[in-house]
Structure 1
Amino acid sequence: MSDYYKLKNNKFRFPLDQTLQSDGGKALIERLIHLFKVKNRIELADLIGVSAGTLSTWTTRETVPHELLIRIHLATGVSMEYLCFGTGLSYGEDLFQVNESIPQTKVKTEPDEAYKMPLLNTFDIENGKLRQIERFRIDDGFFFINRISPRSDDFLLKIDGKYCFVNASETIVTKGTYLFSVNGSHQVGDLRQMPDGKIYFFDGDDKYPINTNATKIHGKVVSVIEAV
């Protein structure tokens, strides 16, 4: 039997002689945001070399930009199946295992709504400077259990084997643990505003007045998670 007849009679997972209806528009854009771990459509548009208006057009028309998908595949090794349908393997591997000329594909389904989970940056402090060490998505259960609300500018800070969730909107000192910097050098400590109207740094039983001209408050630690 010739190769032509073998191929003609093979039952491919994706028909060889039919047009495929791959994902486009909003679904594709959200998949790319998830894939590249960018914050929003503006960052995605800049990354892939199109305008934000182009992304809006893709959404309105449910467009599938095949040239872009091919470009991403060639640049990153991400499989075309994943880019087109959200299934298969996300990153470049040898996808096909040939068995008697019939392509067999290992299938891994994209987690539902994965790219809609809040994206959290994680930092540590190195020589007084914030250093980004991780970036990952967290499901709603994390926020519920720790009694915190996800905001786009909040982040995790890793200190002494613990992850501190920093609410970046709480920059007015009342009482608690805060991330602050003195002349640009970052640290975490116990700050309190006392009845005299001044802010003090507490170190055990000792307290020291804060120079508000040299000190900047970057947020309050609202939850602490033990690293595992």
Structure 2
Amino acid sequence: MGESNKIPEQAFLKGHDFTNNLKMLLGCKNLQELSSLTGVPTSTFSTWNMKNRTSFELMIRVHLAFNIPMKDISLGYQIPNGDNERLKVEENSTSYRLGNELSTLAHNKTPAILESYELKNGQLVDRHVTLFDPELLLDFNDDKLMVVKDRNQLFIIDTSCNQAVSGLYLINIDGFLSLNQIQRIPGNNIAIAFNNSTLNVSENDIAVIGKVATEVKRVLN
């Protein structure tokens, strides 16, 4: 087989591009609707987003169920007018409020936009986006940040910190997510605080989603 007959490599959609494209193709407004339609937990979609992953198994299931071309599912829906640029699917930004935007612009600030979730029953529920004063995030990479609301408090999570050392972390234990204080201890073990007690476990027993970078008392929306 000649060089010209080689199967070309493809830039398959991953992470946010993948889930946003699925929402657009399937007419879903958020991850909850996408989860209900596909049977994939919202926490799994969130993990794909954070880890920049894709699911070829889900691509095939969607193709077989809805007869959507695999090219549109795996590479992104192409704009019909012939423009070859991948269609950028915008989030359903219900968190944008005109008054807040005008207020921010009046102070010559462009708000930082972070994906936002609420922690309910051990799962992340999509809250769309949250606007922040950009000065609050100067020391961080915005692409690695997410917002988690838990018990009426907002936490900015740095998903680049997925090794437990010491601090408050968003962790996954047997498919359920929670925010816990963690301290690494000898023997590749970690101590996890639960209410007024501490549990020592192997670091292999949990998955660290990210570390709390800061707790937010006041946000733009």
**TM-score, length-normalised on structure 2?**
0.48
Q: Name the larger-Rg structure.
A: 1
Question: Which structure ranks higher in relative contact order (CA pairs < 8 Å, sequence separation ≥ 6)?
Answer: 2
Q: Please give the TM-score of this superposition, normalised by the length of structure 1.
A: 0.47
